[in-house]
Chain A
Amino acid sequence: MGMTQHAEPAVSSPPASGPGKVKDGRTAERPLALRVLARPEVGVFLGAVAVWVFFLIAAPPVRDGSSMANILYQSSTIGIMALPVALLMIGGEFDLSAGVAVITSALTASMFAFQLTLNVWAGVVVALLVSLAIGFLNGWLVVRTGLPSFLITLGTFLILQGVNLAVTKLVTGNVATDDISTMDGFDQAKKVFASSFEVGGVQVKITIVYWLVFAAIATWVLLRTRYGNWTFAVGGNKDSARAVGVPVTFTKISLFMLVGFAAWFVGMHNLFSFNTVQSGEGVGQELIYISAAVIGGCLLTGGAGSAIGPVFGAFMFGMVQQGIVYANWNPDWFKAFLGVMLLGAVLINLWVSRTATRR
């Protein structure tokens, strides 16, 4: 009964990469503007612009460059994870363990290096292997059992949550890791994962650059490579994809491993910008990543979406979350504001794509 197993319903929208439908005379060629609007990321782009303009008016501090850098920083740590989560969703699966996997990676790197008194890069490499292995395990279990990824990754989510806590406590005697900021290689790793640079007097965090670079690569892969086609195909209809020679197993497992890679990356950012990691963190983040992807135009049923949409989805999260603070609204309403703004953005998104696809 998994969402990936039944055939693609006939009414579902076509994949974003394949707009070139053969004209059969029943439909007239639609105007360019409407065709642009029909792309999945355009709705969320307009939503993001609307939210941005709204806060530019409502919250004067947002107009400042450093505030924008701060908002983008928050968006980038969500966005780097939202990208592979979106690709995975296009491939017809999703990953509930993505939030705690970030912390697992950070804990692994920190404890491995600290306990064995190694250069921190050793921990970084081990953490990468662990993260990829978790992704592989998720993917392999999903493919082998045919169970919905919801169940499999719910399982790994709980396992990782428990393991994060228990192993950290076992190894360090506390529930947080030791401070590694004085160890060899730390400054170097901090430069790579958690530095910032100046642009016109504004401190910009490096994660923003990585976020945009990763998004560009993901877009290229999705639209211009065979792997991108495979991703759409396995998410659309696994069985017919397999019938035409798409390596379904490879595609699905590698998509899960991609989530593992991003979890490692964000985990390293957390570790090297805050020096220690608390083992209870990360819970609930998976839903934020998934929301950013969905707001960004990825269908929960797979087979449709883009890599650029989640960029705006993540931006919207960062913008709304910080915008509320910049606007100095009553903090008790914080989550409610967040929900209303996001729901509003999704509705704009929906309205735009409906309007655009109407003849």
Chain B
Amino acid sequence: MDRSSLSRSRRFAPAVALAAAAALTLAGCSSSSGGKKSEESADGASAGKATTPRMTIALVTHQSPGDTFWDIVRKGAQAAAAKDNVDLVYSADPSAANQATLVQNAIDKKVDGIAITLAKPDALKDVVAKAKKAGIPVVGLNSGVSDWQKLGLMEFFGQDESVAGEALGKRLNEAGAKNAVCVIQEQGNIGLTQRCDGVKKTFTGKLQTLNVNGTDMPSVKSTITAKLTQDKSIDYVVTLGAPFALTAVQSASDAGSKAKIATFDLNKDLTGAISKGTIEFAVDQQPYLQGYLAIDSLWLYKNNGNYMGGGEQPVLTGPAFVDKSNVDAVAAFAAKGTR
């Protein structure tokens, strides 16, 4: 029995080896040349490749699946990883407890650096302390601008959601808006609420909020239409994500409303709408930059001991306004999905 199975396995060994080799060759081909993948790695700035020793960095975010915004963050991180000879391990979970587990996984894997988002700082406090104890440098990005130092992170890259909201509110004042509505596509999301609250702080006109069901576009459309019908004096619709801005344009026309549309965050269709003038402007927090800098900073720290922001101040990536005056410069990058 033993012998026969042994001899069988011997007979099969070359075939198995051959198959494995073929599979590896195929895998090698598909990753190194052609197709969408090469297009993706060619995205954005490619600045050669560092010769520093290979290191592993974990990026753990609170992304929910299928969100265009986080896709751009990840692309920035990938671009930096490709340049810095970094093995990037990306993971994400919208639930804070699960995100903490993912950070713990990274610690267990003994990665060389961790970049995290602090959407719920309290839930991540313990696990960040563990990472520090294990000697792993941790940087923050996107959310948590008020908490990163308390938790002992090295650096932070992002914008304050309420600061971005305040900037948008000021912009509405300049545009002469009197009655605006802030459309929240996910009820109870703190970042989105902070944006609307930020707008409320600086906007001198009346600001209402409106909850819509972000996973169902027809419903988003008819709810915004309903709001514009209910209050005919609304002159600005502020959405908190690019796809919802494009839908709001349709709602305004359905409702026969003259309300103008402004939004947070960009995507490639939105830049087209801004140059056409159907959408007034967008606040861009440059998610690509957040992902890129987070990875690059860990590389710099490891190889040259640098701190961005001097370890004292956050590195701000937004709010940057995109409107008709500068949309052409941005459009080409947005088309690639990196801006």
B215 at the interface (CB under 8 A from A): yes
**15 new A-B pairs (CB below 8 Å) besides A77-B219, A174-B268, A280-B67?**
A70-B222, A165-B66, A176-B68, A273-B221, A274-B217, A275-B246, A280-B64, A322-B223, A327-B230, A328-B230, A331-B208, A331-B209, A332-B211, A334-B211, A335-B211
Q: How many residues of A contact B (CB 8 A)?
A: 51
Are B230 and A325 touching (Cβ within 8 A)? yes
State which of A59-67, A128-136, A142-150 sits at the interface with chain B.
Answer: A59-67
B216 at the interface (CB under 8 A from A): yes
Are A275 and B230 touching (Cβ within 8 A)? no
Are A322 and B71 touching (Cβ within 8 A)? no
- Most A CB contacts (10 A, CB to CB) among B40, B222, B223 go to B222
- Chain B positions 274-310 with a Cβ under 8 Å from a chain A Cβ: none
Are A179 and B269 touching (Cβ within 8 A)? yes
B225 at the interface (CB under 8 A from A): yes
Residues of A within 8 A of B214 (CB): 281
Are A280 and B66 touching (Cβ within 8 A)? yes
- In angstroms, Cα B254 to Cα A203, docked, is 8
- Chain B positions 221-275 with a Cβ under 8 Å from a chain A Cβ: 221-223, 225-227, 229-231, 243, 246-247, 250, 254-256, 267-269, 272
Tell me the minimal C-beta distance from A213 to chain B in angstroms.
18
Interface residues of chain B, those whose CB is within 8 Å of chain A, are 36, 39-40, 43, 64-68, 71, 184, 187, 208-211, 213-219, 221-223, 225-227, 229-231, 243, 246-247, 250, 254-256, 267-269, 272, 336-337
Once A161-B65, A176-B267 are accepted as A-B contacts, the answer to whether A325 and B210 lie under 8 Å apart by CB is: yes
A164 at the interface (CB under 8 A from B): yes
Once A67-B229, A70-B254, A173-B39 are accepted as A-B contacts, the answer to whether A270 and B243 lie under 8 Å apart by CB is: no
Tell me the minimal C-beta distance from A85 to chain B in angstroms.
15
Please pick, from B222, B225, B243, the residue contacting A278 in the complex, using a CB distance under 8 A.
B243
Give the nearest-CB partner of A162 in chain B: B65
Tell me the minimal C-beta distance from B209 to chain A in angstroms.
5
Q: Taking chain A's interface residues, is the majority helix, strand, or loop, or is none over half, making it mixed? A: helix
Interface residues of chain A, those whose CB is within 8 Å of chain B, are 59, 61, 64, 66-67, 70-71, 73-74, 77, 99, 161, 164-165, 168-176, 179, 203, 269-270, 273-276, 278-285, 288, 318, 321-322, 325-328, 331-332, 334-335
- In angstroms, Cα B213 to Cα A282, docked, is 10
Residues of A within 8 A of B64 (CB): 280
Once A164-B66, A165-B65 are accepted as A-B contacts, the answer to whether A325 and B36 lie under 8 Å apart by CB is: no
- In angstroms, Cα B269 to Cα A175, docked, is 13
Tell me the minimal C-beta distance from A52 to chain B in angstroms.
15
Residues of B within 8 A of A325 (CB): 210, 223, 226-227, 230
Tell me the minimal C-beta distance from A185 to chain B in angstroms.
20
Are B211 and A331 touching (Cβ within 8 A)? yes
Are A174 and B66 touching (Cβ within 8 A)? no
- In angstroms, Cα B217 to Cα A280, docked, is 11
Are B215 and A280 touching (Cβ within 8 A)? yes
- In angstroms, Cα B215 to Cα A279, docked, is 10
